[in-house]
Each structure stands twice: as structure tokens, then as C-alpha cells.
Structure 1
Amino acid sequence: MKKKTLALVMAACMVASVFAGCGGNGGGSSSGDNNSSGKSLRLVNGKIEVDAQLKELAEAYEKETGTKVTIESMGGGVDIQGQLKNYNQAGNMPDIFVCGGSSDFKNWTDNIVDLSDQEWTKDTELAYKEDGKVYGFPYTQEAIGLCYNADILQKAGIDPKSITGPESMKKAFETLDAKKSELGLTAVLGYSAEPVNLYWSTGNHIFSAYQDGGLQRGDTKYFDMLSKGEIDKTRFNDFSKMVALFNKYSDPNLLVSGTYDQQILNFASGKYAFVTQGSWIGATMTGKDDKDAYKAAGNFKCGILPYAFQEGMDRLESDSPSYWAVTKNDNSDAAKKFLQWCAGDAGQQILVEKAGFVSPFKSSKYVASDPFAQTLTDYQKAGKTSGWTWPGNKEGLAQNALGQVFNDFAQGKIATPEDFTNKMATTIKDYYSK
């Protein structure tokens, strides 16, 4: 989900804009629009970095259909959901707007269209659903996992496909550690358990391996247990052993007090063979922040592995970080037609090749140039993905509880994987009992 220096990947829905000259009424029409279809749509986009590309998408759609689509991109520091509520009160709701997850969608239960009957829903597993009904259009997808430098693994004689569980992961780490000097590595792994600014990485993303790893999409058994303040200690202890491995082989200068920027720059520079992040870091590696370092390191090939803390966990955790919802109004049908077009060939070509999105649609023939896009696309095409349930965890769980436990384990204040499991069990029980 996004660079970034943000505190949470799901923050794609917490962006802002200078709201000047936002035309249109509750139906989304803008004054002065003149097109052959007589329809004009307005879309609120939460990713300002692709504003130009979405406007190109809108222009292509207007040229083909005659329907004008005005893109209103928000970026900065103002909550999109708060601004949307202001629009709603003023009778100025956009026809299509971004929502990050369940908490956002709950704001609009009576205001958005059920999209379950749309043709595109048959082509993706990533649509946002509530009570079996589809309400969110997934325009991109991201994956959480063990990102790797494929060139370094090849030089070390390690096939990424051979890392299928805890023993093979440990063997790969040991091999790389023994060859650090000849491979030019600072450390095998870039993992940080810094609790103030990177709690989202440990307490949401890495913790999600316990919660969702290896499961069929839609399987919520461990999320359901967590909602009761409980964990499966047998499963969690296997997860704890993987975290202990991360503690052992991570860069010690990053482990307990490092920064996100340091973590990604060092990986982009070829100093780590692995990094505990997700597909969104590709934009940082190839963007203005780290592109020079990545180029100097040879623009190496990248991939992502599942956090396989149990043997045979071969599903990559992937989902859409945010969605487009359709407002109930006179333009609903026109908005649905636009989304169907976006899921088709013409829309996908622009969204993938121009905006750099990884398509959530199985039939899409396009692959973004992002370093991690091909791996994510391959897992999707193979039907080997798990969903994300962590966005539904109790508010503040990662920031106020889990992040510090990961940090204590990294510092050695928690001695063993078993102790880490027990501390997590107690912490979660206490947090959910509040």
C-alpha cells in the first residue's frame, strides 16, 4: 500500500487536498460541461501521485463514450473521509469516491450502490464485500511479504522457490550470512521493530502473517479468535520462531531503532538480501527517493515470498489498499459503466502501464514496470493469495500494544519464542478486554 514515510499502508485513504473550485451538484455534474452523452461524472481520488494518469484515463473514456469524468485528487494532510462528509452535507457528493476499508465504508452504508451484479466482480477476488455484497471496486493491489533481491539470491545459489517453510528459510539465511562479504551485504535482512514510527510494519503487516498467512481468501478463523482476545498458541509459537530468526539476522543498526527510509534505501542499495515490507516499496525504489541508489546497485530483479513460518505456506498476502465506491444518485448507472470500462482492456492498459498499478483483475494482460509487479501478478494468476483481515483489528492494537512487544523481543527483553508467544497472548487479551 505507497511509500513511503507514512505511518500505515492503509493511509492511502487519509490524504487531503486544496478544495478549490469543486464544481458539481449531488449528481456530480459540473457547470459548463457539454458532451454527447449528456452525462458528467466526478471521482474523488486518494492517490495524488497518479492524478495526471487518472486524468488521462478520464480523457480516454470521454473520447470513447462521450461521458466526461472529472478527477478530483486529494493530497496533503486533511482526512478524505472528513471532506466527503462535508460534501455530503452540502449536497455535493462525488459520483465515485475512495474508501480505505471497513471503517470508511461504514460511513456510507445507506449512500453507496451494491455492485454485486457487475460483470467485473467475476474477474477478481479483491472486491470489497460486506455481508456477501460488493461495495468497493479494487483499482489496484499490494502484497505483504518477505521481499528479496533475486540477483543476490542467485549469486548465493539460492532458488527463492526453495524457501517453502521455516527450515528452508533458516538455511537460506545461514547461507547468505556466511557469504555476506563476497555478496557485499551489510546484513541478510532488513527488519525493524522500532515501535514509534514502524509499529504498523510489525503490529499490522508482520503480525498479519500469523493472522492470515497460508489461509484461503475469506478464511477468518484467526481474526475471529483475535476479536475475542485470543490467539492460537501453537500456530503463534511457529510464527514467533520466524520473528526470532528475523531478530538474529537483521541489520543490528536497524533492528530496534531504524527508520523506514533507512530500511528501504539499504535494500535498494543492495545491502540486504531480504526486507520485511511489501510491494509498495517498489515505487520508492524507482522514484525520486531511492532511484539513484537502486540504479547504482544494478536495478536488480525483485520478488516477494510469503512469510512461511509453517511448511507449505505458499500463499502471498495481497489485497487492495483502497477502493472506489459509487454514490446512490442519478448518475449511479453511468458510474457503474465507467468502472466496468476501467476493468476492461482499455482502462487496464492505462491503470497498469501509466499509473503503475498492479491489476486486481485476472483477465488483465498488462503488468506494471514496478520491480514487484510480476511476482504479485504470478501469485494472483495462480490463485495463490490470501486476504487481509488485519485492517479490522481493534483500533490502536498495533500502535498501542503489539509494536512494543515486537520491540521488546528484538531488544532481548523477551528471551525466547515461547516467552514472546505468552507475552503476546497476555497483551492481546488485556487490550481486547478494555
Structure 2
Amino acid sequence: MKKVLSLLLMVMLATAVYAGGQQGDKDMADGGDVTVTMFQLKVEIKDALDAYAAKYSEMTPGVTVKVETLGGGADFGGAMKAKAQAGEMPDIFVIEGKGGYDVWKDYIANLDDQPWLKDTDLAFMVDGSAYGFPVAIEGYGLAYNADILAKAGIDPATLTTRSAYEKAFMTLEAKKDELGIDAPVAMAASVAGGMWWVAGQHNLAAYWGGGLDFNDTSVIEEALAGKMDEPRFREYAKYVQLLFKYADQNILLNGSYDDQVGSFAQGKTAFLHQGNWVDPNMKQLGVTFKMGYAPHAFTEKPQTGLYLFAPSWYCVNSQSPRAEEAKAFLTAMATTADGQSYIVNEAGMIPAFKSVEIKPTGQLSQALMAANAKGGNYGVFFGMLPDGAGQNVFGPIYDLFAQNQDDLEQFIADMKDAFAQLPNM
């Protein structure tokens, strides 16, 4: 079966290469103007990225950059494969780690000669060579509304163990009417709602890296070999169960990204299970209350760190006749005043490039920068998983657990079986 799939992908890639060349010929026939296509998955930066691409196009004679966005839990990998099969492979596309690289490596240009490379430690590297431009530094913990916690008498600095969270959630639940909240936590886990990644990717990252050295990948490497650290996973599963129990059940079981983020922004929940990428949403929704991050502390041994990572990388299509124009667009994003302003001021992201002096204004991004400066944070390793594992394997298991929250043993058994499948994916 793997050989058949590999052969199919080779045919798809060859078809796309031919079509890309045909499009390149058409660009030249139309008078030399070049249209660079970009396919990306961060819906929260769509408007900012569209605006930057339009501005770049205006300032770069003969080049137009067009961005297509598909995210919010949609099947980006499946859409990429469909584009390849249709001969519509983009000039710039996104991978989220080794799983994506392994699928598209024959399509990914080497970027060792790019000027921005020396300005970052977060390029996607394989065997010492660069193949991916880091989109940003991202991260998360459990975001909190400081005003609500203060009214409830909860100090976020004390939230470093699972039992501390349980006590805080019980307090918030008991004071819901007084605080004007619907539930302590805004978290979504619905596959149908496109929110599989909240639990099946970002929350599961706590099991992979929580409480360990930033670069310690031993737990996920064990899983990639088909094995589970059962005592550690049981502690983690109890934390998931706690979050599910005290989450707004409508959002947990049926909610969308907008439902989840909107609930927190409106002061209807005290905690939000999302990363600093929601800063632009908070600005759009007029949030004025103070926010911060507490750790995803799932053990009784205190955990104080947040989760920091490069969430994804832009790759250049090595088969495209527009590869040099695509590289120039990325270089401008990293090295020019307009590009850097887009990353920080418009998209609200933490730049992955050391020379950028602009600081983000979003409270959650500022919290991550402070945590990064302090140290003691945890790595995020879901990019090491096989392509599709989060969406197709883990996401549905979390969704099922959200619907049957009392059955902790079934959740653990289902995840153990899923780990056993990983070596064969």
C-alpha cells in the first residue's frame, strides 16, 4: 500500500511540475509579469497577510503575490495533495514539521543561500541545511482573565499543579453567577467543528514535553516507537479530564474557533485554551481586561513553564519557475521595515528574527516574550508526528473523551492503541 501511495504522489508531483511550467510560460507570454501563489493555514493572520501581499505587489514591479488561506481545522494537507494532483501546486506553502517535510521533500527548495538565515535559530533544518522560513515564534499556556481571577480570589502564580487547578476551577464554578461567567474554561475539542487541533495537537503537546528540558524529545520518541509512558500519561489524562469537566460544554462539544475565543473575550469564561495567535482577535473584539498565561500543569510536581515553538515554516516550491520571486517575497518579509511591521504590528506575531526591534503589543505575546527571557519553558514536538496523526488519529479520540468524560480508562486505552499505530503510519 505504501508503494502504491508513493507512486501516486510521484505522479501527482510530476503533473504539478508540468502545470507549473505551463503557468510560468503563460506569465512570460503575458508580458513578463509574474504571479507568486502562496497557500497558508493561519486563519488568524489572513487579513494582515493579504494586506501585506498586496502592498508588496504594489511596490515590486512585475510581481503580484496572491495568498490563499485554508485553516481553522480544515484538512490543509489533503488540500495540498489535491492541488498537486490538479497541477496547481503553490509557489510558497506551509509545513508544520518533519511529517510535512517527509511528504513534500521532493518539492522543497534549499534555502541555505538566503540572507535571513543568519538572523534566526528557528529555520527548518534537515542534515544541516535550511528548507523552511519560520513563520513566527508562538506559544501558549492556559490563558487567563486576570480580572475574573482577582474577583474570585485566585492567584494565577499558584497554578502550578493539577490539584491547584482543580481547586481554582471549583471556586470559579461555585461563583459563576457572582462572576458573570458561563464556565471556568473555554476549550473546544470537536472534530466536526474543526477544533481537533486544540486537544489533539496543542494539549497533547503537554504530555510530549511538559516538565522536561526544552529539547527533551524522549517521550515523543517513545511514542513514535509505539510505546506509552503509562504513569505519566495517566497523570496527563486526569488533567484533560479536569479541563473537559469545567469547560463550557456547548463550546467543548460543538463550538468553533470563534465561539471559543469569543466566549473568553466577552468575559464569559476565566480561562482560554489558545495561544498568542489570538492577540489580533482580542484586539478586534475590543478586549481591555488584563490577560496572562498559567502553565498546563498536569502533575503534582510543580510545572512553571510555557510552551514555545516555531509553529510552521514557509517552503518554496523548488519546481516552480517563480521560485526566485517567491524567495524574494520571504526575504522582504524578514528584512524590510514593511515586512517586519507586518509580522509584529499587523499580524501580532513574535518575530523569529533576532534583528527585529519592534515588540508586539498583544498581552499574550508579551507574556510569552517574558517567559522566553525567564527560561524554564517546554518544547512543542507535535511536528515530529507522522503527517495527519493529530487530525485523523488523536483528534477523534479526544472528541470521544469529551463526550464520555467519566471514562478515563477508555481514553487511556484508546490513546495507547493510537501510540502503537504510529510506527506504521
Aligned with residue 265 of structure 2, among 265, 268, 283: 268
The equivalent of 1:379 in structure 2 is: 371
**Cα pair distance change 1:213/1:274, threshold 3 Å:** same
Within the candidate set 336, 357, 374, 1:365 is matched to 357
Task: Please report how far the alpha carbon of residue 23 of structure 1 lies from its aligned counterpart in structure 2 after TM superposition.
Answer: 10
Asked if the contact 1:279–1:304 (Cα under 8 Å) also holds between the matched residues in 2, the reply is no
Q: Which of 159, 163, 166 is the equivalent residue of 2:159?
A: 163
Q: Contact 1:217 / 1:386 at 8 angstroms: preserved in 2? A: yes
Alignment of 1:8-157 (within 5 A): 25=24, 32=31, 42=36, 44-46=38-40, 48-49=46-47, 50-57=49-56, 59=58, 62=60, 69-75=63-69, 79-80=79-80, 82-83=82-83, 94=91, 97-101=92-96, 102-106=98-102, 108-116=104-112, 118=114, 120-157=116-153
**Number of residue pairs aligned between Structure 1 and Structure 2:** 389
> Which of 287, 291, 307 lines up with 1:302 in the alignment?
291
Aligned AA (1:210): Y
* Match in the other structure for 2:394: 402
**Distance in 1, Cα, partners of 2:405 & 2:348:** 42
Match of 1:189 in 2: 185
For the residues of structure 2 that align with 1:116 and 1:308, how far apart are their CA atoms?
39
423-432 or 327-336: bigger deviation: 327-336
AA paired with 1:301? K
Name the SS of the counterpart of 2:24 in structure 1.
coil
Deviation at 1:309, TM superposition (A): 1.5
TM-superposed deviation, 1:137: 0.6
Output the CA distance in 2 between the equivalents of 1:30 and 1:384. Answer: 56
Structure-2 residue corresponding to 1:220:
217
Change beyond 3 A, Cα 1:256–1:43: closer
Task: Give yes or no for contact 1:59–1:68 (8 Å, CA) kept in 2.
Answer: no
Distance across 2 between alignment mates of 1:220 and 1:116: 26
TM-score scaled to structure 2, two decimals? 0.75
| 8 A contact 1:116–1:134 mirrored in 2 | yes
**Equivalent residue runs for 1:224-235 within 5 Å:** 224-235=221-232
Kindly state the Cα deviation for residue 404 of structure 1 after the two structures are TM-superposed: 4.4
**Alignment check: 8 A CA contact 1:303 1:375 kept:** yes
Give the letter for the 2:169 counterpart.
F
Alpha-carbon contact 2:140-2:306 (below 8 Å) kept = no
Asked if the contact 1:402–1:424 (Cα under 8 Å) also holds between the matched residues in 2, the reply is yes
Distance in 2 of aligned mates of 1:382 and 1:103: 31
State the secondary structure of the residue aligned to 1:280.
Answer: helix
Given the superposition, is the C-alpha separation of residues 28 and 385 from structure 1 closer, same or farther in structure 2, using an over 3 Å criterion?
farther
| Equivalent residue for 1:209, pick from 206, 213, 216 | 206
Aligned to 1:173: 169
Specify whether residues 250 and 183 from structure 1 end up closer, same or farther in structure 2 by C-alpha distance, changes over 3 A only: same
1:325 paired to 2:321 = no
**Aligned-pair CA distance for 1:210:** 0.7
Q: Deviations over 1:51-109 (max 9, x none)?
A: 1222324555x4xxxx76431212479935644676689xxx74xx1222345434553
Distance 1:393 1:383, change over 3 A: same
Residues in 1 aligned to 2:341 and 2:231: alpha-carbon distance in whole angstroms: 45
Counterpart of 1:250? Answer: 247
- Deviation of residue 270 (structure 1)? 0.5
2:119 and 2:236 map into 1 onto residues whose CA distance is 33
Match of 2:419 in 1: 428
One-letter code aligned to 1:129: M
Distance 1:224 1:389 in 2: 10
**Structure 1 length-normalised TM:** 0.73
Q: CA deviation at 1:385?
A: 4.9
Counterpart-to-counterpart distance in 1, 2:417 and 2:104: 36
SS class of match (1:74): strand
What is the DSSP-based 3-state SS (H/G/I as helix, E as strand, rest coil) of the residue aligned with 1:25?
helix
**Structure 2 CA distance for partners of 1:330 and 1:251, relative to 1, 3 Å:** closer
**CA–CA separation in structure 1 for the residues paired with 2:22 and 2:176:** 58
Matched AA of 1:268? A
**Distance in 1 of aligned mates of 2:213 and 2:125:** 16
Contact conserved, 2:56 with 2:65, CA < 8 A, in 1? no
SS in 2 for 1:194: coil
Task: Please name the residue that 1:315 is paired with.
Answer: 306
State the alpha-carbon separation in 2 of the partners of residues 305 and 26 from structure 1: 54
1:314 to partner: Cα distance: 0.5
Shift of 1:240: 1.4
**Unaligned runs of at least 5 residues, structure 2:** 1-20
Residue 206 of structure 1, CA deviation: 1.4
Deviation at 1:348, TM superposition (A): 1.0
Q: Give the AA of the match of 2:312.
A: P
Contact 1:138 1:324 in 2 (8 A): no
Equivalent AA in structure 1 for residue 66 of structure 2: E
- The 3-state SS of whatever aligns with 1:365 is coil
CA contact (8 A) 1:23 1:31 kept: no
Distance 1:75 1:166, change over 3 A: closer
% identical equivalent positions: 32
Question: Contact 1:53–1:351 at 8 Å: present in 2 too?
Answer: no
CA RMSD in angstroms comes to: 3.9
CA distance in 2, matches of 1:26, 1:278: 43
Change over 3 Å in CA distance of 1:80–1:111 after alignment to 2: closer
| SS of equivalent residue, structure 2 residue 394 | helix
- Relative to 1, partners in 2 of residues 1:340 and 1:406: Cα closer, same or farther, differing over 3 Å? closer
Please say which of residues 113-122 and 133-142 is displaced more in the overlay: 113-122
